[in-house]
Amino acid sequence: MALSKIGIPRTAQHFLECGIEECERNCEFYCNPCHQRLCKQCRDEHLKSPEYKNHEVVLYQQRKRQLPVEKCKIHPTKDVDMLCEECQVPLCSKCVTMGDHERHKFVDLEIVYAEKFALFQQEISKIHEYFLPTSQDLQKEIKKDSSEIKHIMDNIRTSMKTEGESLKSLVDTVISENMKQLDQIEQSLLEDLNTQDKTFDGYITYLNNLSKELHRCLSSTETQKLMSEEKPKIQSIPETTQPVTPGFTAGQYSKSDVTILLGKIHVPNTKAEKREIRPIESVNNTAMKPTHKQMKENRKKSDKKKTMSLSASITKVMEFKVPGVDDEVYHVSLDQLDRLWISDDYGNLVQTDLQGNVIQKIKTSDERGYHAVTQDRDLIFTDQDKKVINRITQDNKITEFIKTGDWRPLSIHSSHINGDLLVGMVTLREAKVIRYNKTGKELQNIQRDNKGERLYSEPRYITENINGDICTSDWNKGVVVVNKSGQHRFSYTGQGSEFYPYGICTDVLGHILVCVGLSNTVHLLDQDGQFLSILLTRKQGVKYPISVCVDDENNLYLGQYDTNTLTVYKYLQ
């Protein structure tokens, strides 16, 4: 089926009005059986009518899509409205009686259509919220890398030229110094030779003069005079030295020697790493959406849940004392059906079974709703003094999992939907809720509403509802509920008397249960914040309740002040 034919918008929904004639108020709700848009007032009127009181009215965003009208090809007067689950063939109500589908299982085609519609919307949401932004981010990285590569290469070229110029300068300096030294040697040798040359000029002149004198003696007519002359003594030839000329040894170098001098380009011998692609689970609203198989399982669970309701009376199932905690049970975290983690107001944190037998005990520094058990059954707990969240794994190793900077972590919850961690935290003047993923990466910061007003003051307890709503118990703000996107949905501040909420939890039907210590009660709200009833009172022996949780078997665990007894009730049937 083409996407354009099923009317999936690519952008946010425009302003919608209530579908009731002459009502111009904003549409907030949707009646699935009537396929009717409703405002809050029209929803109330709609459900008051005996004809519609059992209709399923949901938030508009959670509506079932209306099945397009399609005529059966075999029975043209009938609409196709059923699906044979075994044959996976759409049928009309008349087709189901035919022999081809005898004893086959059928399902309402509108339900399957709504599921398929939701799946296609999820895929479009994934494209626009994850695949496109992630691809665009990666493309930006590639372009940034291209620019960086050019910058790096230009720097290398500049360095190579600088090295070359530097070597040239050194070569010129060495040659200049060698030439100067050679000039000095040459000058010294020439001066020495010039001195020797002058010496021989004088010596030769001396010899010439002596020869002339001797010739005069030989030409004299006076024999007596020649006979009386002594034999002349000729001076020795002056000694001279041969010049010692310098030599030149040519440099013994190769190309590799020059490369060493100038430097060389080296390419790292490592394999190029793949670019990191952030996991799709990091997108909150897509990570929480179920697969088609999960939708079928949820449909079965939903059918079972529809048969459940509040009991006419609350039944006490059991109670037991918890050794190792002092005089109160301030917070309870479910480990598995037969184990619990329980803490008091003095930093004692105890793991126990349902008989009150202590399995292990840890000394911490915090109080109230500061611990939770993850999907992997690791225990996480806060440390306000050190401003960290610790993790204890199955092998009992304690590690500092998340550091919260300047913020003191007060409360913590591990999501049953996707394993995210929800943490309520404060500073001197501010308070907020942070969502982390399983690895401790911050995903969401919730601090103010759309008007810029502070949502929280002191979020001492925190939990999550089945629709992804984040519910906090805040002494000064009451019960504060935001949706999974962090938008404020509602706040609950009690039924007129002073309201100081403590422990908070939700159940399989989306109810919100909150302890109100001063009035010795546990209040029950619906998913949209409507007060339903006071679930537990002093008549059931409740005195200053401060912690509450509900397990998958709909057992309600209640902890109270001034006693280390944990009481278990049944309130759903």
First to last CA, the chain: 42
- 492 DSSP 8-state letter: E
- The answer to whether 562 and 531 are in contact (CB under 8 A) is no
Helix (H, G, I), strand (E, B) or coil at 496: coil
C-alpha gyration radius of the chain: 48
Choosing among 3.30.160, 3.30.70, 3.40.50, 3.40.1580, the CATH entry for 15-63 is 3.30.160
Q: How far apart are CA 468 and CA 484, in angstroms?
A: 5
- The answer to whether 361 and 344 are in contact (CB under 8 A) is no
Question: Would you list the DSSP string of 391-412?
Answer: EE-TT--EEEEEE-TTPEEEEE
Provide the pLDDT for residue 288. Answer: 46
Residues 292, 294, 298: CA angle, nearest 5 degrees? 120
Q: How far apart are CA 277 and CA 231, in angstroms?
A: 117
Per this entry, what is the length of the chain? 573
CATH architecture of 308-572: 6 Propeller (2.120)
- The answer to whether 351 and 364 are in contact (CB under 8 A) is no
Q: How far lies 458's CA from each of 253, 384, 455, 462, in Å?
A: 77, 13, 10, 11
Q: Select from 304, 314, 317 the least CA-distant residue to 524.
A: 314
- The answer to whether 427 and 407 are in contact (CB under 8 A) is yes
Provide the pLDDT for residue 309. Answer: 59
Label residue 387 left, alpha or beta by phi (over 0 means left) and psi (-120 to 50 means alpha).
Answer: left
Type of residue at 223:
T
Provide the pLDDT for residue 301. Answer: 56
Block residue for tokens 């249960």: 513
Q: In what order do the strands lie in the sheet with 521-525?
A: 501-506, 512-516, 521-525, 531-536
Q: How far apart are CA 208 and CA 240, in angstroms?
A: 20
Q: How far apart are CA 356 and CA 342, in angstroms?
A: 11
Q: Where are the domains of the chain?
A: 15-63, 308-572
Count of other CB atoms within 10 angstroms of residue 8? 14
Antiparallel, parallel or unpaired: β 80-84 and 408-414: unpaired
Q: How far apart are CA 287 and CA 294, in angstroms?
A: 13
Type of residue at 276:
E
Q: How far apart are CA 183 and CA 32, in angstroms?
A: 108
Residue 445's H or E segment, with its range, is: strand 442-446
pTM here is 0.51
Provide the pLDDT for residue 114. Answer: 79
Q: Using CA of residue 251, residue 255, residue 257, residue 262, what is the dihedral sign?
A: positive
- The answer to whether 324 and 350 are in contact (CB under 8 A) is yes
Tell me whether residue 73 is exposed, middle or buried, using C-beta atoms within 10 angstroms of its C-beta: 0 to 12, 13 to 18, 19 or more. exposed
* Residue 399, strand partner residues: 391
- 478 DSSP 8-state letter: E
- The answer to whether 109 and 82 are in contact (CB under 8 A) is yes
- Across the chain, which has 573 residues, the per-10-residue mean pLDDT values are 38 66 87 88 89 85 79 88 86 82 82 81 83 87 88 86 86 89 91 91 90 80 69 86 84 77 74 76 51 58 55 82 89 85 90 89 84 90 93 85 94 92 93 93 92 93 94 94 93 87 93 92 93 90 93 90 92 81
Type of residue at 22:
E
Residues 43, 45, 50: CA angle, nearest 5 degrees? 110
Provide the pLDDT for residue 300. Answer: 56
Q: How far apart are CA 368 and CA 413, in angstroms?
A: 12
